[in-house]
Amino acid sequence: MSNETSHHKWERGIIYLLNLDGWELEWTGEEFEHYDARGKTPKGFDCVIEFKLRNAYYPTKVLEKYKYDKLMQIDCLKFYYVFDSRGNYLYYLDSLELPEPNIINCKATEKFGRDELINKTVYFLSESQASIINKY
């Protein structure tokens, strides 16, 4: 099984669990979008969610400025969901107070077969900024 397939299964699994909790989401991961799920919140508001799945734990969560800017152009509620080895963190982007952006050197998107290092502008989010936190 490829990493991409495994990643997609995790995304669909998280959506399934959120839907059990009253969300009405559909997975968009196969499409070229700046989000991985769209649908409705438990209160019936239109929304999109971008997922970041990490194998390792980092005390700060990385949100790419490019993705944030693209999400903020969409006319609905926006969420950023981070899953790592120690918990789940759901950030409500519409009211999130962002820290100053940072530039990090990291791999280009593997999805497009690029493995060179590039500079990305990112925000480092604290766990306490998440609207919902489930720790293991």
Q: Is residue 106 part of a domain?
A: no
pLDDT band, residue 134 (cuts 50/70/90) = confident
Residue among 73, 80, 86, 77 at smallest CA distance from 98: 80
Question: Does residue 62 lie in a domain region?
Answer: yes
Confidence bin at 115 (pLDDT 50/70/90) = confident
Q: Residue 1 above 50 pLDDT? A: no
For residue 73, is pLDDT > 90? yes
Residue 25 β-bridge partners: 39
Mean pLDDT of the chain: 91
The reported pTM is: 0.89
- DSSP conformational letter for 74: S
Which burial class, exposed, middle or buried, applies to 5 when counting CB atoms under 10 A from its CB (0-12, 13-18, 19+)?
exposed
27 with 15: CB under 8 angstroms?
yes
Domain count across the chain: 1
For 4-54, the pLDDT digits (tens) are 578 889 999 999 999 999 999 999 977 767 899 999 999 999 999 999 999
- Classify residue 89: in a domain, yes or no: yes
Q: Is residue 117 a contact partner of residue 108, using CB atoms and an 8 Å limit?
A: yes
Query: 10 lies in which domain range?
Result: 3-96+125-135
Which CATH number fits the domain that encloses residue 24? 3.40.1350.10
